[in-house]
Chains A and B, each alone.
Chain A
Amino acid sequence: MSTGLPSVLIIDDNAARASIIEAGLRNAGHDRVTIIAEMHGIVAKIATLAPDVIVIDLENPNRDLLENAFQLTRAVKRPIAMFVDRSDNEAMQSAIDAGVSAYVVDGLRQERVKSILDMAISRFNAFSRLERELEEARGALEGRKIVDQAKGLIMASRNISEDAAYRLLRKTAMDQNRKIVEVAEGLVLSAGLLGSGGNGGTG
Chain B
Amino acid sequence: MIEINGGFLPLTDSAILVVAKEKGFAEDEGIALKLARETSWANIRDRLAVEQFEIAHSLAPMPIAANLGLTPFDTKLIAPMALGLGGNAITVSNAVFDAMATTGDIASQDARQVGLALAQIVKARGEKGQKPLQFGVVHPFSAHNFELRYWLAGVGIQPDKDIDIVVLPPVLMADALKSGRIDGFCVGEPWNSVALARKAGKIATTKSAIWASSPEKVLAVNAIWAERNGPAMQALLRAFYAASIWCGEAEHVEELAELLAKSTYLDQPVNTILPALNGGLLGEKSTSAFFEPHARAATFPWQSHALWFYSQMVRWGHVAHSDERALVAQETFRPDIYRAAIVPTGASVPSANSKVEGALRETIAVGASSQSLLLGPDGFFDDRFFDPDHLDLYIRSQTV
Contacts and interface: CB of A to CB of B under 8 A. Distances in A.
A60 B73 contact: no
A161 interface: no
B50 A59 contact: no
**Max chain B CB contacts within 10 Å: which of A61, A80, A92?**
A61
Given A68-B139, A81-B73, A84-B72, A62 B169 contact: yes
A165 B225 CA distance: 60
Contacts, number: 59
Given A61-B39, A63-B40, A96-B47, A81 B72 contact: yes
A65 B41 CA distance: 10
Contact of A61 (B49, B52, B171): B171
Nearest to B9: A61
B190 to A, nearest CB: 15
B140 A86 contact: no
Interface residues of A, number: 21
Contacts of A64: 40-42, 138-139, 167, 169
B172 interface: yes
B73 A86 contact: yes
Interface residues of B, number: 23
A81 B42 CA distance: 10
A92 B138 CA distance: 25
B226 interface: no
A93 interface: yes
A101 interface: yes
Contacts of B171: 61
Nearest to A41: B181
**Max chain A CB contacts within 10 Å: which of B41, B47, B50, B169?**
B50
Contacts of A199: none
Interface string A96-111: 1000010000000000
Contacts of B41: 64
B72 A92 contact: no
Given A61-B169, A64-B139, A65-B169, A92 B50 contact: yes
**Max chain A CB contacts within 10 Å: which of B42, B52, B140?**
B42
A120 B47 CA distance: 19
A96 B170 CA distance: 22
Given A58-B43, A64-B139, A96-B46, 19 more contacts: A59-B39, A62-B40, A62-B169, A63-B39, A63-B40, A63-B42, A63-B43, A64-B41, A65-B168, A69-B167, A80-B72, A81-B72, A86-B49, A92-B46, A92-B50, A93-B52, A96-B47, A101-B42, A101-B46
22 contacts: A60-B39, A61-B40, A61-B170, A61-B171, A62-B172, A63-B39, A64-B42, A64-B167, A65-B168, A65-B169, A68-B139, A68-B140, A80-B72, A81-B73, A84-B73, A86-B74, A89-B50, A92-B46, A93-B50, A96-B47, A96-B50, A101-B46
Interface of B: 39-43, 46-47, 49-50, 52, 72-74, 138-140, 166-172
Interface of A: 58-65, 67-69, 71, 80-81, 84, 86, 89, 92-93, 96, 101
